[in-house]
Homo-oligomer: A and B are copies of this chain.
Amino acid sequence: MTNPTSAMLVIGDEILSGRTRDSNLYHLAQELTRIGITLREARVVADVHSDIVAAVRALAAGHTHVFTSGGIGPTHDDITADAVAEAMGASISHRADATALLQAHYDRAGLPFNEARQRMARIPDGAMLIDNPISTAPGFTLGNVHVMAGVPNIFEAMLAGLLPRLSGGPPLLSQSLRVMRGEGEIATAFGALAAEYPDLSMGSYPFNQQGAHGTNLVIRGQDPARLDEAMVRLTRLFG
């Protein structure tokens, strides 16, 4: 019962300069957990062609799916489509289907479909479009790489359309127990329990609220019965 693995690639100077706090990784992680695709790693790179190409190649070779966010708009710093095409060995051009979508959108809005806006119809050959219900400019799937916008509400809308196409495994379930003890106090018994359940993953996350120290103990796994069993043991130890 091995789930497909995946990786995320966040593209954009604004994340690495601290201008913007990324939220797409957090959203994607929750959605993938729900549908049983393991998110195994994530990377953030700048708007630098060679950096994007190298990261896409490395991630596409190592995972069933790669999800990217950012860099598909009309401005000069939007270079994701070309970089993904190069990474995957595809040619890229203004594609007729994407051009038609955008032309109709700007016609309806009474705005000129100028050269910059036409850039958003540059789609690698052989890619499948990902619908953008918010601002029309499409994302695309090329091989195992799913290319989406960086603006959070557009990323989320694209992902909502994409995910039903992908087949996951059993969802990753989790249960947690909040204890008002430090990690150092529960570590030995918790570690011993984890060793008894190699099919589950157990993690501990300390917190400090208004001066009180505590730990959230989390058990993750795919088999609800095993999860329940381990949770009973955990509660007996620390509940």
Q: Once the chains bind, are B13 and A77 in contact (CB under 8 Å)?
A: no
Partner of A76, one of B51, B73, B190: B190
Which residues of A70-92 are within 8 A (CB) of B?
73-77
Distance to closest chain B CB from A138 (angstroms): 15
Chain B neighbourhood of A19, CB < 8 A: 174, 205, 218
Q: Once the chains bind, are B202 and A77 in contact (CB under 8 Å)?
A: yes
- Stretch of A124-132, A160-168, A180-188, A231-239 lying at the B interface: A180-188
With the chains together, A19 CA to B183 CA distance in Å?
Answer: 18
Q: Once the chains bind, are A188 and B116 in contact (CB under 8 Å)?
A: yes
Partner of A29, one of B18, B33, B76, B188: B18
Partner of A17, one of B23, B39, B186, B207: B39
Q: Once the chains bind, are B194 and A13 in contact (CB under 8 Å)?
A: no
Distance to closest chain B CB from A65 (angstroms): 14
Residue A14 CB within 8 A of the other chain: yes
Q: Once the chains bind, are B41 and A16 in contact (CB under 8 Å)?
A: yes
Chain B neighbourhood of A21, CB < 8 A: 23, 26
Q: Once the chains bind, are B20 and A44 in contact (CB under 8 Å)?
A: no
Residue A43 CB within 8 A of the other chain: yes
Chain B neighbourhood of A73, CB < 8 A: 183, 187, 204, 206
With the chains together, A201 CA to B79 CA distance in Å?
Answer: 14
Which residues of A31-57 are within 8 A (CB) of B?
31-33, 39-47, 51, 55
Interface centre among A13, A16, A39, A153, by most chain B C-beta atoms within 10 angstroms, is A16
Which residues of A160-215 are within 8 A (CB) of B?
172, 174, 182-188, 190-191, 194-195, 201-208
Chain B neighbourhood of A43, CB < 8 A: 41-44
Residue A229 CB within 8 A of the other chain: no
Chain B neighbourhood of A55, CB < 8 A: 41
A6-30: contact bitstring with B at CB < 8 Å (1 yes, 0 no)? Answer: 0000001111111111110111111
Subset of 12 A-B contacts with CB under 8 Å:
A15-B29, A16-B40, A17-B220, A18-B39, A74-B183, A74-B187, A75-B183, A75-B190, A76-B190, A76-B195, A116-B185, A120-B184
